[in-house]
Amino acid sequence: MTGTKLISGAEWWRTAVIYQIYPRSFADANGDGMGDLAGISSRLPQLKDLGIDAIWLSPFYTSPQRDAGYDVSDYCDVDPLFGTLDDFEVLQRTAHDLGIRVIVDIVPNHSSSDHGWFQAALAAGPGSEERARYTFRDGKGKVGELPPNNWESVFGGPAWTRTTDPDGTPGQWYLHLFDTSQPDFDWDSEWVREQFRAVLRFWLDRGVDGFRVDVAHGMIKAPGLPDYTPPAEGGSMGGAPATLEPGISAESPVTAPYWAQDGVHEIYRDWHKVLAEYPGDRVLAAEAWVDPLSKMAKWVRPDEMHQAFNFAYLETPWNAAKLKSVIDESIEAFGNVGAPSTWVLSNHDVVRHASRLALTGENLQGHGIGPKTVGLPNTAVGLRRARAASALMLSLPGSSYLYQGEELGLPEAVDLPDYAREDPTWFRTNGERYGRDGCRVPIPWEAASASFGFSTGAQSWLPQPIAWAGLARDQQNGVAGSTLELYKLALSLRREHSLASGTVEWLESLGSDVMAYRNGDVTIVANTGAASVQLPAGDVLLASEDLVGRTLPGDATAWLRAVTA
Ligand code: NOJ
């Protein structure tokens, strides 16, 4: 690792802005319509210019791509679709030379069914050591024709698939909390634990700055694998439904026997020690859909992981009272264990916030949106709220995650043709749920180029909406008032005023739709209502919409230089 240009100071991740790159959709250097590592390397200077501290790369490992790379068949190699290990070395070196840290994804709950370990388990048969590495069980019923329990896959349909023995007769069943092609490991196996320590070391030895841990609340299952029916309104990954007030699900009756089991913590204590063997403050970030936040904070106790995605914040509607409450709850819950809060509004699994914040139908959190969704968002309202919400998020103390394209104000692509869809959710629910393709469409770089400059070829693996020409980076770069310039300004002021290491001091109410708070020498005012509000004293540093005099319009956020009495 070059080190010298990277943001200095111990525990850099406490204040970092981490930009998620979805390799399939960021930049394509070889013209096949699918993003790749060389494409990412070529665009890193633009991310430097944006002002981020680190990138997190979604999986680029060898994979049959049944779940867009979250189905890994070799944890220590690069899929030819994305390049080679040498391309990764170049990417990492380029990033480090620019002062950008590199976090990679690790997928420990399940592998691909193509993985040699799973293929060996199938071949070795019931009772073998190889089968004990995954979650195989005999079926119920007279001849094992029924699944071992009633669990459902997050992507829809049953969570069990029956195997076929070499002689063609039906055999045992295996568990997959996600797609059939993603068999769950059995983390009671010391062999599995040892393999993953080796995977961590493989990437740490190559100089990565940390790992985003996929399904970090799912690896341990309750003994006996008891039947469980999730509440109808619950999030399928275990989080609270979007309609709940933050914190209310503290009363949640039962924890699913496959989410948030106590045994996972031992695994992260072990991983913490592995990372601690390496210099340079390497980081573990949990994707753990655990509710309430006080429980999620267990994932980031001092000897476990370093960060956890704050999905409670992501799921909070654009509403001043609810946002204020989740901000307080987050700072308290994470602060109680000595961890920074994180903040996030979009990622590759949820409806982009430039659309989500303006949905008017019932499907507020949902399972993706598409042409038939009731209450599709108004694009202008969505963009306005997204800009205001991002300006609020980037003013908060702690670490923030950005998802590629949000700095351009990209909305969800809602008009994707059915034939183009790839998300297993779409297939496993027979089109009942649109799934996540709409937030994964390749991003636009240049309005006048084929595929808007995403690819050196003409195509992109998912079609890009025509209207995205107007949102392309080259249309926004250097243009005052553009979303891209708003993000750049926010990131530079955030650094200049040390907002990420500051505190939240709420100011006297400016109305029930308005949040006003002080962070160091900056006052932040966010107006989630429709009516304009008069700004308090102080020079305006940033505004997500044009101000009329000192009036902040609805759905807008402003930062002011605080006036001290
Ligand atoms: C969470 C990932 O973010 C998502 O994209 C993936 O489908 C599931 N985990 C399964 O790995």
Q: What is the DSSP string of 508-539?
A: PPS-TTEEEEEETTEEEEEE-SSS-EE--SS-
Q: For residue range 496-512, what is the model confidence (pLDDT) as tens digits? A: 999 999 999 999 889 99
What span, in angstroms and rounded, lies between the C-alpha atoms of 247 and 235?
A: 14
| 36, 214, 315, 349: the active-site residue | 214
- Ligand 1 lined by 545 (C-beta under 6 Å): no
Joined together, the tokens standing for residue 422 give: 């790839």
Active site residue 214: yes
Instruction: Find the mean pLDDT for residues 333-338.
Output: 98
pLDDT at 245 over 50: no
pLDDT at 108 over 90: yes
| 266, 277, 303, 505: the active-site residue | 277
- Ligand 1 lined by 422 (C-beta under 6 Å): no
pLDDT at 238 over 90: no
Q: What is the pTM of this model?
A: 0.96
- Ligand 1 lined by 461 (C-beta under 6 Å): no
Share of the chain above pLDDT 70, in %: 94
pLDDT at 321 over 60: yes
pLDDT, the chain, mean:
94
Phi/psi of residue 312, each to 5°?
A: -60, -40
Residue with CA at minimum distance from ligand 1 atom 3: 349
Cα-to-centroid distance, 155 and ligand 1 (Å): 10
Cα-to-centroid distance, 262 and ligand 1 (Å): 21
Phi/psi of residue 499, each to 5°?
A: -65, -35
pLDDT at 556 over 80: yes
Residue with CA at minimum distance from ligand 1 atom 11: 70
452 backbone φψ class: left, alpha, beta (φ>0; ψ -120 to 50): left
Residue with CA at minimum distance from ligand 1 atom 2: 214
- Ligand 1 lined by 22 (C-beta under 6 Å): no
Radius of gyration of the chain (CA): 23
What span, in angstroms and rounded, lies between the C-alpha atoms of 454 and 463?
A: 11
Residue with CA at minimum distance from ligand 1 atom 6: 70
Q: Position of tokens 């995605």?
A: 309
Q: For residue range 263-300, what is the model confidence (pLDDT) as tens digits? A: 999 999 999 999 999 999 999 999 999 999 999 999 99
Active site residue 277: yes
Cα-to-centroid distance, 214 and ligand 1 (Å): 6
For residue 250, what pLDDT is reported?
37
Cα-to-centroid distance, 423 and ligand 1 (Å): 11
Q: Quick check: 550 and 560 in contact, CB under 8 A?
A: no
What span, in angstroms and rounded, lies between the C-alpha atoms of 219 and 258?
A: 8
Q: For residue range 304-313, what is the model confidence (pLDDT) as tens digits? A: 999 999 999 9
- What contacts 24+ positions apart, CB below 8 Å, involve 115-121? 115/72, 115/73, 115/74, 116/73, 116/74, 117/195, 118/183
Cα-to-centroid distance, 486 and ligand 1 (Å): 30
Q: For residue range 407-459, what is the model confidence (pLDDT) as tens digits? A: 999 999 999 999 999 999 999 999 999 999 999 999 999 999 999 999 999 99
Higher pLDDT among residues 250 and 523, named by residue = 523
Q: Position of tokens 């946002």?
A: 323
